[in-house]
Amino acid sequence: MRGGKGGGLLVAGTTSDAGKSVVTAGICRWLVRKGLKVAPFKGQNMSLNSFVTREGAEIGRAQAMQAQAARVEPTALMNPVLLKPGGDRSSQVVLMGKPVGELSAKGYHGGRQKELFEPVMACLEELRSTYDAVICEGAGSPAEINLRRTDIVNMGVARAAKLPAVVVGDIDRGGVFAQFFGTTALLSPEDQSLVAGYLVNKFRGDVSLLEPGLDMLYGLTGRRTFGVLPYAHGLGIDEEDGLRVSLRGTVRESVVAPPVGADVLRVAVCAVPLMSNFTDVDALAAEPGVVVRFVDRPEELVDADLVVVPGTRGTVKALAWLRERGLADALARRAAEGRPVLGICGGFQALGERIEDEVESKAGVVDGLGLLPVRVRFGVEKTLARPVGEALGERVEGYEIHHGVADVRGGEPFLDGCRVGAVWGTHWHGSLESDGFRRAFLREVAAAAGRRFVPAPDTSFGALREEQLDRLGDLIEEHADTDALLRLIEEGAPAGLPFVPPGAP
């Protein structure tokens, strides 16, 4: 490795959602299977899907997934800056796992972002001093020329750390050759000197039909393509951002396994504004016979056996949305009829009697839906925890990320929240990943819904996740030039890469 430091690579992308997160995870799993000690890194992440590390730091959920791919414990070093959108123009800034304030996009890019460059680079250097390789994920596109001056996640990091970069493009969307060429041609000569080549993602069909285009791309840019990754269905890997979830689609593209019992169980997830940690329902979607969909209309709750009100970065905004859409009345009817409802984190808060918020929305006192005897007061300090407990006779693990402090005034205890009839509420994210508890909960839901649904006795969410991560590693190992990638990671970008005009303006 170079200069006594671990090797490294920047996985950049032509666009958001090009596949940077999954490619980074796949490279991490491939390297760790080769016997290398590897860590993921993303200097700055913008996401509402986050996770709590064992030391109580909040990081992007994607980096926690990549750490699992690398078979290491996630830490704040792997995602030193996390931006959590609170609306169209502002985000909460989380630095080294702790919130440090709210900033507008203009305020962040106008000065604060430059201040964060030094701690971001310090984290990367610490990781490189500890690991054989650090695989860095970029954000958006490195060719966002309006933001290059304050960049702390793409070529700014690559330049400072002298890391080679590969650019990932999603060919399923079309236009990938123009994206590769244009991305390269909009970078400065110094940045271009680190862009070693490209990775095509989500290809369907015969690769031989693509090869003439790859040859022409090499002729135009002097850069090779390191692999063509096929479109892989049903990976089920954590999404970067819950804001982009399809309201009408299923959670995953994988085929729903047949039910063990006579009936399926239908789960409707209210797609509230600023939805966070919607990955909570992934464990339900993994169960044979459980069908999960995201909804935004009251009529879509009619045939649901369970309705989930998920986490949100804007509880008061979500409450208003539920009322405007008629979903609040539909939830009240369900509760009165004894039909199951589960609120998680912000969803739990919305199901309570009253919310006092001078922190998140600054709306003051707002009436909740009144389905649970809970009053919530928002505090300045954020709760970040990894609780362990018991519910329905089973051990449960979870994680908490919230400003709201719940005063539970009745009902049956349920994790840190409560239950009244068929309405449950808790602040614990990730609880449904505990297999025994998930099965017990689904049995309760089926009984309340009158369904002859039987949870599969052997579904292991942890094992399914490991299988998915191994599939990502297989994609890299089988469809990328791994020898060339390893040389990049160990030796850096090759010398003499040609300049592609016009370069950055």
CB-based burial label for 373 (10 Å; 0-12, 13-18, 19+): middle
- Provide the H-helix boundaries in 175-245: 176-185, 189-192, 211-221
Asked whether the beta carbons of 389 and 396 are under 8 A apart, the reply is yes
Which of 18, 119, 131, 122 has the alpha carbon at shortest distance from 67?
131
Q: Quick one: 388 exposed, middle or buried, by C-beta within 10 A (0-12, 13-18, 19+)?
A: exposed
Is the C-alpha dihedral spanning 418, 419, 425, 427 positive or negative?
positive
188: number of Cβ within 10 Å: 15
pLDDT score recorded for residue 248: 35
**Beta-strand pair 306-309/341-344:** parallel
Q: Which of 135, 137, 210 is nearest to 172 (CA)?
A: 210
Supply the pLDDT for residue 258: 81
Report the alpha-carbon distance of residue 215 to residue 205 in Å, rounded: 18
Give residue for tokens 């998915």.
468
How many CA atoms lie within 13 Å of 174's alpha carbon, on the beta-carbon side?
Answer: 0
pLDDT at 89: 75
Q: What is the largest CA-CA distance in the chain?
A: 71
101 DSSP β-pair partners: 93
Do the Cβ atoms of 116 and 78 come closer than 8 Å? Answer: no
Strand pairing category for 423-426 and 417-420: antiparallel
Separation of alpha carbons 166 and 10, rounded Å: 6
- Give the global pTM: 0.92
Question: For 442-457, b where at least 16 C-beta lie within 10 A, e where not — what string?
Answer: bebbbebbebebbbbe
Residue 149 corresponds to which tokens in the numbers above? 């001056």
Given this model, what pLDDT does residue 237 score?
A: 60
- pLDDT at residue 394 in the model: 97
Please list the ranges in the chain whose pLDDT falls under 50: 241-254
Please name the residue that has the structure tokens 């959602």: 17
> What is the structure's pLDDT at 243?
37
Are the C-beta atoms of residues 291 and 264 closer than 8 Å to each other? yes
Q: Which pLDDT score is estimated for 303?
A: 94
Structure-block tokens of residue 364: 């003051």
Burial (0-12, 13-18, 19+ Cβ within 10 Å), 377: middle
What separation in angstroms does the CA of 374 have from each of 101, 321, 352, 370, 412? 27, 20, 5, 8, 12
Cis peptide before 502 (omega within 30 of 0): yes
Calculate the alpha carbon distances from 277 to 23, 239, 241, 268, 348 in Å. Answer: 21, 9, 9, 15, 13
Long-range CB pairs of 393-397 (<8 Å, 24+ gap) are 393/440, 394/434, 394/436, 394/437, 394/439, 394/440, 395/434, 395/436, 395/437, 396/428, 396/431, 396/434, 396/437, 397/430, 397/431, 397/433, 397/434
**Looking at residue 65, what DSSP letter applies?**
H
Q: How many CB atoms lie within 10 A of CB 121?
A: 17
| Whole-number pLDDT of residue 103 | 80
Catalytic (active-site) positions: 345, 429
